[in-house]
């Protein structure tokens, strides 16, 4: 969440309003900020009133003592002190209630965009660099035709198992998916020094709140019994690893890589891109997560993004890096790049990675801090994450990029040792 101290100063709050306005006009958000400013003022007034009443009660209590020492009756002062104490307690309760309401509503405010993030909606996204030559779409088959012919996906039987949006990989398709996961994990763990994590796929409400999925996006999540949620990304459990911890400077940056399946209700809900596995409710993903010092956050974002790019380059997939505008960024994001791979069979750039820095937005929710030196006051860390990569669309890009005139698929060189074959042909071929 954003810094509550912004609501203590009119100039700071005005600057925050201006920053959030770069995400686009939102009357509900403006009203929320006004409500929060009111709650913050109510809390300040209640605290001030409570402190004044406690001071008065203490003064009256001292007067009671003086009267008793002088052998005088102090019944009236005792009654007055009791009344003041009751009023002070009521003011403290009002301050606590305002504080609880303030912090609850503050969770609904999105992160402030970084200064270099373009203002506006998706039309203001900027392509900052490209790699590889996009193949022409003409004469290329879409992945669903290729996968059906080669027995890589069973799009006909999958819906009877769980409904639409839940893919069923079969035969060499399942092996290709597994090979991609293994390759991507090994690349980041062995070459880039990430610590591999195998986290739970179900997490509790506090964990979802820590990374920003709750309370705003509960309807987009799959909730099961015991108030647990299926994770929408490995970012959620992995970023919460250090919740309520203080990390020493010597261990920063901490970098983790994790594979998980991911579940999201909203995927495919917009009526577009529903053929094949372009938009699905369940997909595999390899995720990178960083914890770093604030002064190293910007450089870390660039490095994390490069690590995701290396995966695409080794797979030989043409891609572009897009700087995401404020109005198109995720709720918790401070700065964001998307990596889009070219899929010639559908003739589209497909997002296969989103690399983001959150500044201290998530760390404040999770109370993750670091200490610059022994005895130094702990400060909030910065958190970052990025997909390296999202598998469903990477699978699509591989099939559509490496399809051959005879309908077979040439296997990318880096995957041949894992698959044990340089070519995917029809079953029995």
- Per-domain residue ranges for the chain? 4-106, 122-424
Architecture of the CATH domain 122-424 = 2-Layer Sandwich (3.30)
Any long-range contacts for 196-200 (C-beta under 8 Å, 24+ apart)?
196/256, 196/257, 196/258, 197/234, 197/238, 197/241, 197/256, 197/257, 197/258, 198/258, 198/259, 199/231, 199/234, 199/237, 199/238, 199/241, 199/258, 199/260, 200/231, 200/237
Q: From first to last of its 429 residues, what are the pLDDT tens digits of the chain? A: 999 999 999 999 999 999 999 999 999 999 999 999 999 999 899 888 888 888 888 888 888 888 888 888 888 888 888 898 899 889 889 989 999 999 999 999 999 999 999 999 999 999 999 999 999 999 999 999 999 999 999 999 999 999 999 999 999 999 999 999 999 999 999 999 999 999 999 999 999 999 999 999 999 999 999 999 999 999 999 999 999 999 999 999 999 999 999 999 975 455 556 789 999 999 999 999 999 999 999 999 999 999 999 999 999 999 999 999 999 999 999 999 999 999 999 999 999 999 999 999 999 999 999 999 999 999 999 999 999 999 999 999 999 999 999 999 999 999 999 999 999 998 767
Nearest alpha carbon to residue 170 among 154, 190, 148: 154
287-to-246, 250, 266 alpha-carbon distances in Å: 23, 24, 20
Query: Does domain 4-106 sit in CATH 1.10.10?
Result: no
């Amino acid at each position: 969440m954003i810094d509550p101290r912004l609501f203590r100063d009119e100039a700071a709050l005005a600057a925050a309003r201006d920053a959030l306005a770069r995400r686009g006009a939102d009357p509900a958000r403006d009203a929320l900020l006004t409500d929060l400013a009111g709650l913050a003022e109510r809390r300040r007034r209640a605290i001030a009133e409570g402190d004044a009443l406690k001071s008065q009660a203490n003064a009256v209590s001292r007067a009671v003592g003086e009267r008793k020492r002088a052998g005088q009756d102090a019944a009236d002062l005792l009654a007055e002190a009791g009344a003041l104490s009751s009023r002070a307690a009521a003011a403290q309760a009002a301050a606590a209630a305002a504080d609880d309401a303030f912090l609850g509503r503050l969770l609904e405010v999105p992160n402030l965009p970084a200064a270099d993030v373009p203002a506006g909606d998706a039309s203001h996204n900027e392509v900052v660099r490209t790699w590889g030559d996009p193949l022409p779409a003409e004469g290329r088959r879409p992945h669903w035709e290729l996968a059906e012919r080669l027995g890589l996906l069973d799009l006909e039987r999958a819906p009877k198992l769980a409904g639409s949006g839940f893919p069923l990989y079969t035969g060499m398709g399942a092996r290709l998916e597994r090979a991609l996961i293994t390759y991507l994990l090994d690349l980041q763990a062995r070459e880039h020094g990430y610590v591999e994590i195998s986290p739970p796929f179900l997490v509790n409400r506090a964990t979802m709140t820590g990374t920003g999925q709750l309370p705003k996006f509960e309807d987009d999540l799959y909730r099961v019994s015991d108030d647990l949620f299926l994770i929408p990304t490995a970012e959620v459990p992995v970023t919460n690893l250090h919740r309520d911890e203080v990390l020493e400077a010597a261990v920063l940056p901490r970098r983790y890589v994790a594979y998980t399946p991911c579940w999201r209700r909203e995927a495919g809900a917009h009526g577009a891109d529903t053929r094949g596995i372009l938009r699905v409710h369940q997909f595999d993903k390899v995720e990178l997560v960083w914890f770093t010092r604030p002064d190293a956050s910007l450089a870390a974002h660039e490095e994390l993004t490069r690590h995701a790019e290396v995966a695409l380059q080794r797979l030989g997939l043409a891609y572009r890096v897009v700087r995401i505008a404020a109005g198109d960024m995720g709720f918790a994001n401070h700065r964001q790049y998307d990596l889009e791979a070219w899929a010639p069979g559908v003739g589209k750039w497909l997002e296969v990675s989103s690399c983001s820095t959150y500044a201290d937005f998530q760390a404040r929710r999770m109370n993750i801090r670091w200490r610059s030196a022994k005895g130094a006051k702990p400060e909030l860390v910065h958190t970052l994450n990025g997909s390296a990569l999202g598998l469903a669309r990477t699978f699509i890009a591989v099939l559509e990029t490496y399809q051959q005139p005879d309908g077979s698929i040439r296997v990318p060189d880096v995957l041949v040792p894992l698959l044990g074959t340089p070519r995917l042909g029809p079953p029995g071929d």
